[in-house]
Amino acid sequence: MGQWWGVLAGALLIAAWINKAAGPAVVIALSAVVLLWCAFQAPVTCGAPVRGREGGCRNNASGLLLGCHIRQHRWQKLKMLIVRRQVRAFCSGLFSDGKATIVTLAGIGSFASGLVALVPGLVIH
Ligand SMILES: [Zn+2]
């Protein structure tokens, strides 16, 4: 459960949005924390391609952008983002299971939240 602290930060972020007293600085800080958690800390499945295994590596990875402890897997997903024809495979991996979907949605939400907080004009009053 300790690895899921990002979800707690996400809940705080939502609370900061509801409670206007928190102010944009708090929202931006929490958004950045949640986004970093999703990218580099969240406990998702590695999913790096493994010969002869459907769905790839099942080890726990650190975040959506990093792989598991196996050296060849560590930067696998970042490489997929750089190689154009593998971007689609990377994107499908973002929704490969329940955990990945939660983390991906949290990442998108925190990114949007940070953007809106940074650019006040984006919010239509
Ligand atoms: Zn792996």
Predicted confidence (pLDDT) per residue in 37-87, tens digit: 999 999 999 988 888 888 789 999 999 999 999 999 999 999 999 998 999
Average pLDDT of span 26-41? 96
User: Sign of dihedral through CA atoms 76, 79, 80, 85?
Assistant: negative
Rounded distance from Cα 99 to ligand 1 centre (Å): 16
Spell out where the chain has E strands: 43-45, 60-62
**pLDDT at position 116 over 60:** yes
Number of domains observed in the structure of the chain: 1
Alpha helices in 83-121 (DSSP H): 87-93, 98-118
Tell me which residue range forms the domain holding 73.
Answer: 2-122
Q: How confident is the model at residue 35 (pLDDT cuts 50, 70, 90)?
A: very high
**pLDDT at position 124 over 70:** no
> Hey, what's the torsion of the CAs at 96, 57, 6, 83, to 10 degrees?
-70
Rounded distance from Cα 47 to ligand 1 centre (Å): 6
Rounded distance from Cα 18 to ligand 1 centre (Å): 39
pLDDT at 2: 81
